[in-house]
Chain A
């Protein structure tokens, strides 16, 4: 479930990035790289688990499914938080810089 959620996030962020590519003002590519890397790594985890438990991999217990769903959503949220911090630091629209500049003038 974690793999599925992250893979969806990777595809959605790729589509969002591609709509405006090669421009990347919002740094959507950062989300693409992060979610794609994690999806590939979890894909290996999934294959290893499939090799050990077989078809039972596709019928997890509801409690495991829920835990994995929570984990997947938390991973997405963590990725978005890191992206938001990066966006604030880079400040592509110069909102924070402008505000700081204006504040300085007012003083």
Chain B
């Protein structure tokens, strides 16, 4: 009925978080560029967290948008007030809220778990690459 609203709400929060983090990382990078220089090139190879948060944003926004389309298809979202057929009367509203609390929360949780798994894979790949680079450097020395 309106289960997509929960991941969409999470997407709004994570988008704001991404924007804040990105501006903070930019400021920090500028500071470090002035003070350190060479150490920055090593750090720059690491994927910044704001970019990783962007992956979650895209998953949430993309999924929510296509689910919104599905709800329009099924006539659950309408172009006039109250916009959701489930919000027309209290009985339907209760059912809608129940669906949001069960399916909606489960959707947001599954997408977040998927993203966490991606973070794990990304971290492992990063460590493996760093170890390989270190080994090559040691050989050269």
Contacts and interface: CB of A to CB of B under 8 A. Distances in A.
B59 A6 contact: no
Given A37-B64, A74-B73, A44 B59 contact: no
Interface string B52-64: 0001001111111
B59 A33 contact: yes
Dominant secondary structure of chain A at its interface with chain B: helix
Contacts of A43: 110
Contacts, number: 78
Contacts of B63: 34, 36-41
A interface, how many residues as a size bin? 20 to 34
B62 A35 contact: yes
Interface stretch (B16-24, B80-88, B100-108): B100-108
Interface of B: 3-4, 7, 55, 58-67, 69-70, 73, 102-103, 106-107, 110-111, 114
